[in-house]
Homo-oligomer: A and B are copies of this chain.
Amino acid sequence: MNNAPIGIFDSGLGGLTILKALQKTLPAERLIYFGDTANVPYGSKSRETVTRFSRDIAQFLEQKGVKLIIVACNTASALALTRLRKTCRVPVLGVIEPGAQKAVRSSRGGRIAVLGTEATVKSGAYRQQILKLAPHAKVTQVPCPLFVPLVEEGWSKNPVTRLIAAQYLKPLAKTQADTVILGCTHYPVLKPVIANVLGKQVQLVDSAQTLAQEVKNYLISHDEQAQGRGSLTIYASDAPERFKHLAKHILGTRLKTVRLKKLNA
């Protein structure tokens, strides 16, 4: 048993899709979520800069006494995970490995596409991870930079979003992908639109559920599960009221409090 909290972080709001899955799978855990709204977005920034942001947040979470850190951001998982694992005293889990695992398990024909930010795609982290599990898989990568601002704008149901999705996803008709990874934690919000563009024959996978299960397995095997009632504390590095307001789009419920925690101020 270990009642220490679990730390989760993202560049902003997107990681709340991961938080939701964790709350459902691990209702007894104390969760601390950090959204780096002062530096959002990460997807167009360099490895070095994203690693610096991630390291500062991990340090803050370690000071809060977490037993585990979850990088609930695909860009940070792709660019900073190796480094974080070296510098943190607690285990660090990312979203790339569980996403790749789930895609490989789901895919019938081994034709897997990855949708992600510019930086995630450029890093090739998903491709690498998929090929480790399924060396003969055919992997296509598609950067979709406007998806994050569309979600942050609350436009997931706006007809314009479907048109943009249709443009981004055009190359997938050619590669006949049978499985598509939503390789950014914002993208599950656009699932209905993406499914509508790609059609029923294509499977959409994201990391949330697989990651939550992985965390559960880890806690059980290390005898580190919490007991009692779970809790949630949310920090944002800027504009906590704005974060609270926009979180509704993703969580479907209102957050009570979002605390301001500036990094390097």
Contacts and interface: CB of A to CB of B under 8 A. Distances in A.
Interface in A219-241: 237-239
A11 to B, nearest CB: 12
Contacts of A160: 160, 163-164, 167
Contacts of A262: 49
A52 interface: yes
Interface string A230-265: 000000011100100000000000000000001011
B152 A44 contact: yes
Residue among A146, A159, A242, A265 facing the most chain B CB atoms (10 A cut-off): A146
B149 A45 contact: no
A59 interface: no
A169 interface: no
A131 interface: no
A237 B44 CA distance: 13
Contacts of A90: none
Contacts of A40: 44
Interface string A39-65: 110001110110010000000000000
Nearest to A122: B242
A150 to B, nearest CB: 7
A239 B44 contact: yes
B52 A265 contact: yes
Contacts of A237: 49
Interface string A142-178: 0001100110110100111001100100000000000
Contacts of A145: 149, 152-153
Interface of A: 37-40, 44-46, 48-49, 52, 145-146, 149-150, 152-153, 155, 158-160, 163-164, 167, 237-239, 242, 262, 264-265
